[in-house]
A and B are shown apart, each in its own frame.
Chain A
Amino acid sequence: GAVVSQHPSRVICKSGTSVKIECRSLDFQATTMFWYRQFPKQSLMLMATSNEGSKATYEQGVEKDKFLINHASLTLSTLTVTSAHPEDSSFYICSARVVGGSNSPLHFGNGTRLTVT
């Protein structure tokens, strides 16, 4: 089956530093990946759509200069949280779609728990 690998699974960083999260599709190519953010006991909020070889599309209210997304290859997208602050602490999850039409299901990574101290 389609496997999406996310790394790291947990990261603790100091306020003001930057953190990079990687999302890889291990056994398929993904022209589109999606980044979600989840607060405790809440649903997933779509942050941005990452398109291979082009700029990411951000959802309303998401700061593109703070959450930098790079989709340099068909199997890798990265999310960099720049100048992190405690309010950025959250669970970040990436997902990717197996090529097969925009209505095919998304496959999710296991998420990254970011804690900013």
Chain B
Amino acid sequence: GDSVTQMEGPVTLSEEAFLTINCTYTATGYPSLFWYVQYPGEGLQLLLKATKADDKGSNKGFEATYRKETTSFHLEKGSVQVSDSAVYFCALIYNQGGKLIFGQGTELSVKP
């Protein structure tokens, strides 16, 4: 079945460091791909999305490119801030009822 795999956390970085969180997926066909962010004690917020191959989603300095050939959707940011500390979830939706399938989440901790 469809699935999403993320790199394990926690990821600890210093402020202004470069961030990459790897995400790969398994799906039949062409799913839409998303990154969600969850701050402590809160629900999820949509960070960015891409709906077809080679699309690049971007928001708040974060970017991810839909790579069909490697079935990946890695999240990147050039310079992280302490306020970026959160748990990041990669997810996909495929047409089977529109269910959102999540990866296991990657905790990011940014130190000043």
Contact = CB atoms under 8 A, between A and B. Distances in A.
Interface of A: 4, 6, 32, 34, 41-44, 46, 49, 57, 93, 95, 97, 102-111, 113
Given A49-B97, A95-B44, 7 more contacts: A43-B89, A44-B102, A102-B95, A103-B94, A103-B98, A106-B100, A108-B44
B98 A110 contact: no
Contacts of A93: 43-44
A103 B32 contact: yes
A104 B33 CA distance: 10
B95 A43 contact: no
Q: Which 5 A-B pairs have the closest CB atoms?
A: A102-B98, A110-B43, A108-B44, A103-B32, A108-B43
Q: Which of B45, B100, B103 has the most CB of A within 10 A?
A: B100
A106 B94 CA distance: 13
Contacts of B60: none
Interface of B: 31-32, 34, 36, 41-46, 49, 51, 89, 93-95, 97-105, 107
Contacts of B43: 4, 6, 93, 108-111
A104 B98 CA distance: 8
Contacts of A105: 32, 34, 46, 49, 93
Contacts of B46: 105-107
B58 to A, nearest CB: 15
Nearest to A97: B98
A33 B19 CA distance: 33
Contact of A43 (B98, B99, B104): B104
Contacts of A109: 43
A106 B44 CA distance: 10
Contacts of B102: 43-44
Contacts of B32: 103-105
B97 A103 contact: no
Given A34-B99, A103-B32, A103-B98, A111 B93 contact: no
A31 to B, nearest CB: 11
